[in-house]
Amino acid sequence: MSSVRARTALGATLVVALALVVAGVALLGVLRGNLVDQAGLQAEVAARSVASQIANGTPFAELDLPDDTEEHPVQVVDDRGRVVAVGEDVQRIAGTSSPGTRAVAGGAGGGEVSEDVDHSTGEVTVDGETATYRFAAVEVSGVTVYAGAPLATEEATVAGVRGAMLAALPPLLLVVGGVTWLVTRRALRPVEGIRREMAAITASEDLSRRVPEPATRDEVARLARTTNETLAVLEASVERQRRFVADASHELRSPVASLRTQLEVGAAHPELLDLPGAVADTVRLQRLAADLLLLARLDAGERPGSGRVDLAALTRQEVAQRTGDRVPVRVEAVEAEVDGSRGHLARVLGNLLDNAQRHAETAVAVTVRREGRHVVLAVEDDGAGVPEPERERVFERFVRLDDARSRDEGGAGLGLAIARDVAVRHGGTLRVGRAGSGGARFELRLPAAG
């Protein structure tokens, strides 16, 4: 069955049917037991009545046995298994451990009636009709008195109750199945609305649409809210991806066009070829392509490599290699190790230094220190700083706050976005604040190794 409603209704019906069958069997068992015990009690009363006569010395031939033999058949058996007294019209008794119903001559009894009673079930034939009886056996003066009570009432009562239960079971199961179907249908109606809206969103590719949220506070309402939250995140992700592709195309168009123009001019007039400009455009294209490739790998969930990296040693090495910096870089670092990719962390430091060199007036400082269970790397400059309302925006892709700068001076606006993505992949954070000199202070905080 493909329908949840059908499966739920069938499952509920089967469970109820099983419960009713088990309860019915238990009820019939209890009812049968009570009726059998009641018959046994009646048989015991009849047996003790006859046993009392024997205990009082009444001869076996003069015993006052029950007149209604069909209700309480009685026989008395001696210790040798011989029947010494039997009820009138009783032709055969089975189930009392006696050999038959023929009475033999016997004398009088006498003695005390035993307190113990044994019960058994057997058949009695009276006037040619055989029925099932519950027997009670009581011993007195070396003989055993067997008295029976019919189980016909028990059998009829149990059969009647069983028939009534079997007759009522199908309608009850139909009611259970129907009610379960209707309740499930009503409960799943919002789910169907969510499904239809999701199908419409898929067909239209309009991620701005949202599924209806029920006013209830149940699981379906939470499913709808979660679905809308997922759609919102997906819409933002797609929009960010579209914006990224558009910005990347725009950034690539300028150096490609410049490089093509220079090559075409050089092909027509070799003496006019601006070779340094062509190399600069090629280097810029190469850097932009590398940045875009790294961002694509980070967006795909690439995890950083595992290894121990000493940020102090990495900082000194990176600063020493930067021979063309416009502003000198001062380094104050203590040994501090983190877990992660040396290449990625070097890229973060390089991007932060490039940003500081771009905005610094006279000084750039890099510090590395331990702070509890974290390692903090800070890059400061003495430039104009980052306005507080823009301190989160600078980490967005292709964002350049200073629109007056040329692209060559200002970069493509990917460095800080890459730096934050790498920091997050390493379990850390990257924030910007105000330096003591008034410029910008970028602070990278990573968990310490171990």
C-alpha distance from residue 349 to each of 173, 369, 425 (Å): 73, 15, 15
| pLDDT on residue 404 | 37
Please indicate, yes or no, whether residues 312 and 270 belong to a single structural domain of this protein.
no
Task: Summarize pLDDT for 312-339 with one digit per residue, the tens.
Answer: 999 999 999 988 888 999 999 899 899 9
């309608």: which residue's tokens? Answer: 171
Please indicate, yes or no, whether residues 149 and 268 belong to a single structural domain of this protein.
no
| pLDDT on residue 81 | 80
Could you say which of 105, 134, 157 is where a domain stops? 157
**Backbone φ, ψ for residue 306 (5° rounding):** -95, 140
Q: Per DSSP, what are the bridge partners of residue 94?
A: 123
Nearest CA-CA partner of 211 in 219, 203, 201: 201
The reply to whether 132 falls in a domain is yes
User: Does residue 411 register a pLDDT over 90?
Assistant: no
Please indicate, yes or no, whether residues 310 and 281 belong to a single structural domain of this protein.
no
Query: Which tokens belong to 35?
Result: 């009726």
Provide the CA 339 distance to its chain's centre, in angstroms. 34
CATH number at residue 263: 1.10.287
Please indicate, yes or no, whether residues 120 and 253 belong to a single structural domain of this protein.
no
Query: Which tokens belong to 329?
Result: 């870089």
Contact between 77 and 144 (Cβ < 8 Å): yes
Please indicate, yes or no, whether residues 65 and 150 belong to a single structural domain of this protein.
yes
Output the pTM of the full model: 0.53
Contact between 429 and 423 (Cβ < 8 Å): yes
**Residue 247 neighbours by CB under 8 Å, 6+ apart:** 397, 398, 413
Spatial distance between the Cα atoms of 111 and 51, rounded to a whole number of angstroms: 10
Task: Summarize pLDDT for 5-49 with one digit per residue, the tens.
Answer: 788 888 888 998 999 999 999 999 999 899 999 999 998 999 899
Mean pLDDT of 138-167: 89
Could you say which of 111, 140, 157 is where a domain stops? 157
The reply to whether 168 falls in a domain is no
- Count the helices and strands in the chain (H runs, E runs): 8, 13
State the pLDDT confidence band at 349, using cuts at 50, 70 and 90. Answer: very high
């009850």: which residue's tokens? Answer: 172
CATH number at residue 373: 3.30.565.10
The reply to whether 336 falls in a domain is yes
Task: Summarize pLDDT for 380-407 with one digit per residue, the tens.
Answer: 999 888 998 888 888 887 777 654 344 4
Query: Which tokens belong to 85?
Result: 């007294």
Domain hosting residue 225, numbered range:
219-296
The reply to whether 186 falls in a domain is no
Please indicate, yes or no, whether residues 292 and 313 belong to a single structural domain of this protein.
no
The reply to whether 208 falls in a domain is no
CATH number at residue 124: 3.30.450
Please indicate, yes or no, whether residues 151 and 26 belong to a single structural domain of this protein.
yes
Q: Among residues of the chain, what percentage have pLDDT more than 90?
A: 21
Task: Summarize pLDDT for 261-309 with one digit per residue, the tens.
Answer: 878 877 887 877 777 777 777 877 887 788 778 877 777 777 777 789 9
Number of domains into which the chain is organized: 3
Query: Which tokens belong to 381?
Result: 């400059």
Please indicate, yes or no, whether residues 391 and 422 belong to a single structural domain of this protein.
yes
Task: Summarize pLDDT for 55-108 with one digit per residue, the tens.
Answer: 888 888 888 888 777 788 888 888 888 888 888 878 778 766 554 444 554 555
**Backbone φ, ψ for residue 378 (5° rounding):** -120, 135
User: Does residue 408 register a pLDDT over 90?
Assistant: no
Please indicate, yes or no, whether residues 326 and 432 belong to a single structural domain of this protein.
yes
pLDDT, mean over the chain: 84
Nearest CA-CA partner of 412 in 253, 239, 238, 241: 253
The reply to whether 193 falls in a domain is no
The reply to whether 71 falls in a domain is yes
**Residue 243 neighbours by CB under 8 Å, 6+ apart:** 397, 398
Please indicate, yes or no, whether residues 254 and 225 belong to a single structural domain of this protein.
yes
Spatial distance between the Cα atoms of 37 and 24, rounded to a whole number of angstroms: 20
